[in-house]
């Protein structure tokens, strides 16, 4: 099982679009996928046509202990693809939980028993580094950072990396950045190419080769309540997310090898050794 939070405290960089479509593409490639909407804006839930205004219980109810996972879990219309929806009530959770002991691990504890049923758990984070994002980072083992290849792409990145380090030290020693995905990429512009080069310098070996190009079909599909693979299978957007899904799947073998205990012939003590987070940023 791989659990991945798509995190960037900047809004509008492609987090939700990536969870929605990477999730759908992984499911098409026969991985069993759970998507979790941890954003009170509930864009991911809307993307899959969930009615977020009705009485339906959501992640909020789970986090305050008023619902069981089984009550809020949605089967989407797509095989291998489930969703835990959010709604605006979740916005209150950050404040309501301020005084709660262990508030950073509420999500992890609520989901622990179902995560193992899936090959991939993808978490869509809100555009902040508040308590909801901390809960997401405590629940997963991997972080993928979507970035928009524009001038301010790397602004705020050191704050994000600091937060990830802090979570790793205090709450989740397994957490590591396993990828950066360039979204809304327009390779015709020199700026996009420069920013891409910059990201590669700042995060050596982390940038996925599959770039997600700007594609209007990706922006249209949420209003149809469908992922791109169902809305327009022949679009560039679908091709890009399929390529990304294959690249993510190809990481499985690498991560498995990294997780294996060191061979006995290794002389150096390996216990407790961790794969470093996003190398090259001090």
Ligand X SMILES: Nc1ncnc2c1ncn2[C@@H]1O[C@H](COP(=O)(O)OP(=O)(O)O)[C@@H](O)[C@H]1O
Structure tokens at 166: 């802090």
| Candidate residues 9, 16, 21, 178; the one interacting with Mg ion per rule CB under 5 A | 16
DSSP 157-215: HHHHHHHHHHHHHHT-TT-EEEEEEEESB-TTSHHHHHHHHHHHHHSTTTB-S---B--
Count CA within 13 A, CB hemisphere, residue 170.
13
Binding partner of residue 235 among Mg ion, ligand X, none, CB cut-off 5 to 8 Å per kind: none
Tokens found for residue 136: 């997401």
CA dist., res. 242 & res. 226, Å (int): 15
Dihedral angle, C-alpha 275, 164, 182, 202, nearest 10 °: -70
Indicate the residue among 61 and 150 with the shorter CB distance to ligand X.
150
Q: What length is written for the chain?
A: 282
Any idea which residue has 């008023």 for tokens? 66
Q: Which is nearer to ligand X, 65 or 239 (CB)?
A: 239
CB 213, min distance to ligand X, A: 6
For Mg ion, which residue of 2, 15, 47, 226 counts as binding (CB under 5 A)?
15
Q: For binding to ligand X (CB under 6 A), which residues are involved? A: 11-17, 43, 127, 183-184, 212, 214-215, 218-219, 222
Q: CB 134 → Mg ion: shortest distance, Å?
A: 17
Question: In the chain, what's the furthest Cα-to-Cα distance?
Answer: 60
Rg of the chain over all Cα atoms, to the nearest angstrom: 18
Work out whether 10 is an interface residue with Mg ion (CB under 5 A): no
User: CB-wise, 43 or 86, nearer to Mg ion?
Assistant: 43
Whether residue 86 contacts residue 59, with contact meaning beta carbons closer than 8 Å, is answered with yes
CB of 86 vs Mg ion, minimal distance in Å: 10
31 touches Mg ion by CB under 5 A = no
259 membership: H or E segment, kind and range: helix 236-259
Q: Which is nearer to ligand X, 219 or 259 (CB)?
A: 219
Q: Which one of the spans 36-44, 88-96, 179-187, 189-197 is the region binding Mg ion (CB under 5 A)?
A: 36-44
Q: Which does 40 bind (CB under 5 to 8 A by kind): Mg ion, ligand X, none?
A: none
- Rule CB under 5 A: which of 163-202 touch Mg ion? none
Decide: is 43 part of the binding site for Mg ion (CB under 5 A): yes
- Min separation Cβ 272 and ligand X, Å: 34
Beta-strand relationship, 33-37 and 120-124: parallel
Find the shortest distance in angstroms from Cβ 14 to ligand X. 4
- Least distance in Å: CB of 16 to Mg ion? 3
Give the 3-state secondary structure of residue 83.
Answer: strand
191 binds, among ligand X, Mg ion, none (CB under 5 to 8 A by kind): none
Task: Decide: 131 and 104 in contact? Cβ < 8 Å.
Answer: yes
Q: Is the CB of 22 or the CB of 184 nearer to ligand X?
A: 184
- Using CB under 5 A, list all residues that contact Mg ion: 15-16, 43
């Amino acid at each position: 099982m791989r659990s991945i939070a798509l995190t960037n405290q900047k809004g509008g960089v492609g987090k939700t679009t990536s969870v929605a479509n990477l999730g759908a593409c992984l499911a098409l490639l026969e991985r069993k996928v759970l998507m979790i909407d941890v954003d009170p804006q509930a864009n991911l839930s809307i993307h899959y046509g969930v009615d977020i205004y009705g009485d339906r219980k959501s992640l909020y109810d789970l986090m305050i202990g008023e619902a069981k996972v089984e009550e809020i879990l949605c089967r989407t219309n797509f095989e291998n693809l489930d969703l835990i929806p959010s709604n605006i009530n979740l916005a209150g959770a950050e404040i309501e939980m301020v005084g709660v002991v262990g508030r950073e691990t509420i999500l992890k504890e609520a989901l622990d028993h179902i995560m193992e049923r899936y090959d991939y758990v993808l978490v869509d984070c809100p555009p902040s580094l508040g308590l909801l994002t901390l809960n997401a980072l405590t629940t997963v083992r991997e972080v993928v950072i979507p970035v928009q290849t524009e001038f301010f792409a790397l602004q705020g990145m050191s704050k994000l990396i600091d937060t990830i380090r802090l979570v790793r030290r205090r709450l989740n020693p397994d957490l590591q950045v396993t990828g950066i995905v360039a979204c809304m990429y327009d390779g015709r512009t020199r700026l996009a190419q420069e920013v891409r080069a910059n990201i590669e310098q700042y995060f050596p070996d982390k940038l996925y080769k599959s770039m997600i190009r700007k594609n209007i079909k990706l922006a249209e599909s949420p209003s149809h309540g469908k992922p791109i693979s169902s809305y327009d299978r022949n679009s560039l957007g679908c091709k890009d997310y399929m390529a990304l899904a294959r690249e993510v799947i190809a990481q499985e073998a690498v991560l498995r090898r990294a997780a294996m205990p060191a061979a006995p012939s290794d002389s150096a003590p390996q216990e407790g050794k961790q794969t470093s987070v996003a190398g090259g940023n001090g």
